Each structure stands twice: as C-alpha cells, then as structure tokens.
Amino acid sequence: MNEERRVKQDRIAGWLGERGLDGVVLTRRCNFSWCTGGAANHVAEGNDVGVSSLVVTADAAAAVANNIEAARLGGEALPDDIKLIEYPYHDPRARVEAFPVALGGGGFAADTPLEGLDLAATDAEFDRLRWQLTTAEIARYRTVCRDTAESVEAAARGVSKGMTEADIAARLAGQLRARSLTPWVLLIGADERIRRYRHPLPTRRPLEDYAMLVTCAERGGLIAAVSRLVSLAAPSDELHRRHRAVTTVDAALIAATKPGATLGNIFVTAQEAYREVGFADEWELHHQGGSIGYLPREVKAAPGCEVEVLVDQAFAWNPSITGTKCEDTILAAADGPEILTDTGDWPAIEASWGGNSFSRPDILTL
C-alpha cells in the first residue's frame, strides 16, 4: 500500500471507528476514484454513481465488480493492495452474495443505495475525507489543471466569426479528450447569450464578436474548472471596465482563501468587492463557486456557511458581472494560494485586493 492509499485508508478507519461501523461501501464515482488513487468505476459518463463498488474496512479494501468491469479494473486500474471480487453480470443474486459476507451484521454504511443490500447512509462528514489533498494528489492535480487550461486556451484561439457555439464546444471537447480529460461541464456563450445567461449551454448560434468558454474537466477523478473569454475585435470600454471589475472580485476571493477561513466570511469578502468595484448586486445573479476536487464543487460558498478552508484544499471561484466572468482552480496551500490553471500563456491583468495582487486572465483579442 503506497503512502496515498495509506492516508486514505487511515481517514476511513477513523471515520468508521467514530461511528462504530465495520466498513463502508463506496459506489459514487467521486469516492471510488478518490479511494483508489484515480481508478474509474463508471461506464455512462452522465452518472454520478458507478457500476462497481469498493468495500472498505478499517484495514483493507476490496472491489466488487461484474465480469465485464473486473477485466479492466484488475488489468489496468486498481492498486495492487485492493482485492478484486468478481461475479457474473447476469446473476443478481451473485452480485449481492459477492459483497463480503453479504455485509451482514448491520455494521456497514454506503454512499448510495444498493439494490438487495439494506445499509445505512454515509453522512456529510464522510465527504470531508476527500477534501484535503495528499502530496501525490497535488502533483497529479497540477497536471490536470494545466492540461485543462491549455485545452480551453487552445480552443479559444481557434474561434472565428461564423462558428457556432456547438462548433466551439466540439473543438474544446476535442482538446480535452486529446489530453485524456473528460468534460463534466462544457458551456459556450456567444455575444448576447453571455449577457443573458450565466450557464449558456452551447447552441447553433453563430459567433459574431465575443465568446466565453467554460469547462470542468476530469482525469483520474480530479476535476479542474476554467473559464476564458475571447473577442474578435478590441473589447468596448464598458466590457473592459466590467472585466477589470470582475478580476478584482476574483482577487478578493483568492486572497481570502486561507486555511481556517470560513466560506461564509469569504462570501462576505466577495460582496464587499462587488460593492467596491461598482456592481453591488451582481453576486445575486450567480453563485460564486467554492471548493472543488473530486466533484465540480464540493461546497459552494454562501452567506453564513461555517465550513472552513483546509490546508491543501482546492477551490474554484467564479465571480461574474453581466457579460464577463473570471474562473480558475487554486490550491489553498499553507504558504498562500497557488493558481493551478495559470498557464502563463494568456493575456493577464494584475488584480489587487487588500494588499494582495494576482495575475488574472484578461479577454483575449484575436
């Protein structure tokens, strides 16, 4: 068992001990990937719940999979220390019986209901086990974040007048797929649709002047969030004013993301920044983001939220002012925030808040 697996096994053991449980069954994609160090248990990408499960006790873990999935899991995905239990895909009784001792005794919980098994549900505290990244995860996350940002920026540089939002989405999806990244979120807005909608699902609308590209992309379970804006002509003075304002709000959010700070207090900082830059009510039109990692957002910041920032926890803030937006993925490191999706190859604005200055993405003019 490597160090990353040992840390996670110990976290689960502690959670089990506090609740007097013998074990936990993990079938949600986020938990399966987290516990295994990046293995995937899904087939359909639109599902949060996978088709194979992990049974984790205080000192061991086993994967339960049908014979279709067992071949891939055992052949290329699971760490050596995780035992594989296989059952024939066509036999529902065999599936239930494949779980160790059919999880008898009532000493097991599960992160999602499983047919044929009567198990208690995991609580919100279990989700917190994923939040603090290990050294190995941070190393992988840096490459996931950089590859995601490079994908968005490459797609943005390739847009041209007359391309539809769907065309741009296809280019972005291709860039992501070429880097073995799976898009969980893919939003493309062109021109007026950026001003109308905070979540512009791509349509056949042709691009005239201005586009927004947004993604949350996953590899090995870890998800990075990035937004970039591109204009075919020099942005208007008003758009430039709005974008500079939103980068200042983003700088305020990043500066406030310190271990021990609550998400509620960070949200208050964002509200103060919106007022300071002259757009006091814009925060009401869209959420401001929050923690990220094995889900596109683990917890979204909100007024009064008492959840605290952990050392080595990832965040993706996404402040928006009508017509513009700023979003990157950062790490709340002990010595200050690290912007993980900054490629250094995109026009930037130096945005400041409270004596802190950060390089934030500008609007690319083609």
Strand ranges across the sheet with 222-231 = 182-190, 210-219, 222-231, 364-365
252 to 112, 257, 299, 330: CA distances (angstroms): 37, 9, 19, 13
Measure the CA–CA gap between 206 and 162, rounded to whole angstroms: 5
User: 3-128 domain in CATH 3.40.350.10?
Assistant: yes
Q: How many residues are listed for the chain in this entry?
A: 366
Domain with CATH 3.40.350.10 in the chain: 3-128
Domain with CATH 3.90.230.10 in the chain: 135-365
The model's pTM: 0.97
Give the pLDDT of the chain (366 residues) as one tens digit per residue: 899 999 999 999 999 999 999 999 999 999 999 999 999 999 999 999 999 999 999 999 999 999 999 999 999 999 999 999 999 999 999 999 999 755 655 699 999 999 999 899 999 999 999 999 999 999 999 999 999 999 999 999 999 999 999 999 999 999 999 999 999 999 999 999 999 999 999 999 999 999 999 999 999 999 999 999 999 999 999 999 999 999 999 999 999 999 999 999 999 999 999 999 999 999 999 999 999 999 999 999 999 999 999 999 999 999 999 999 999 999 999 999 999 999 999 999 999 999 999 999 999 999
Determine the topology of domain 135-365 in CATH. Answer: Creatine Amidinohydrolase (3.90.230)
Measure CA 234 to chain center.
32
